[in-house]
Chain A
């Protein structure tokens, strides 16, 4: 699969579990993003990485921990989540800097916290 891929596509976890979401981009981009998409709400930016460095943490609770080992891979580590964290988690990538901010999205991970 080309573009931006995410695994798993669906995840059900208990509040005491630890899991990780994975995102990979095959577009040669150097910026990657995590968004949370809940019903009836705008897309919420969670984290931004430019050239593997975190440049944005949008007041996200510490139970969400991002990791960006290189410009092509992005992880979101989850632990002790709450039911209200159930949502679609979208990864996106773009070129950093310059004059374009066009973001390409992955298919998302549908997370359910029980």
Chain B
């Protein structure tokens, strides 16, 4: 089955700086890669996703890049703000189900 690894497990950034989270996956047949944000005490919510037919996707301050050859994808958050503090999960689709990374706790320092 699919195995997804996510790094780093924790990330502390100064407000206004950028944050980058990286994930690798094992199943070369996977073609859908979503990112979820989970604030403390709340449900995971989809913030951006990418399919294998594109290499990059942007939505305001967040962007995701995908390298299918190397089987890794990354989340980039620019101009971080306090409300970006949360746990972020990457996932990869394999066999019609999602496998999740272990999560990255992002703390934005004011």
- Contacts from A to B (Cβ < 8 Å): 4, 33, 40-43, 45, 48, 55-56, 90, 96-97, 100-108
Other-chain contact of B46, A4, A41, A102 (Cβ < 8 Å)? A102
- From residue 67 to 110 of chain B, which have CB atoms closer than 8 A to chain A? 89, 93, 96-103
- Apart from A40-B9, A43-B100, A101-B97, what 7 extra A-B contacts exist at CB < 8 Å? A33-B97, A42-B4, A42-B89, A42-B99, A45-B97, A48-B97, A101-B93
Specify which chain A residues have a CB less than 8 angstroms from the CB of B100 in the assembled complex: 42-43
Other-chain contact of B43, A45, A101, A102, A106 (Cβ < 8 Å)? A106
* Cα distance A45–B91 in the bound complex, in angstroms: 12
- Closest-by-CB residue of A relative to B46 is A102
Other-chain contact of B101, A33, A42, A45, A101 (Cβ < 8 Å)? A42
Specify which chain A residues have a CB less than 8 angstroms from the CB of B89 in the assembled complex: 42-43
* Cα distance A42–B46 in the bound complex, in angstroms: 16
Other-chain contact of B44, A45, A55, A90, A100 (Cβ < 8 Å)? A90
B-side interface residues, number (CB < 8 Å): 22
Q: Given that A42-B4, A42-B103 are known contacts, is A101 also in contact with B44, CB under 8 Å in the complex?
A: no
Q: Give the dominant DSSP class at B's interface.
A: strand
- Contacts from B to A (Cβ < 8 Å): 4, 6, 9, 32, 34, 36, 42-46, 49, 89, 93, 96-103
Q: Given that A41-B102, A42-B102, A42-B103 are known contacts, is A105 also in contact with B97, CB under 8 Å in the complex?
A: no
B4 near A101 with CB under 8 A, answer: no
* Cα distance A110–B102 in the bound complex, in angstroms: 19
A56 near B102 with CB under 8 A, answer: no
Specify which chain B residues have a CB less than 8 angstroms from the CB of A96 in the assembled complex: 96
* Cα distance A3–B108 in the bound complex, in angstroms: 29
| Distance between B107 CB and nearest chain A CB, rounded to angstroms | 16
B97 near A56 with CB under 8 A, answer: yes
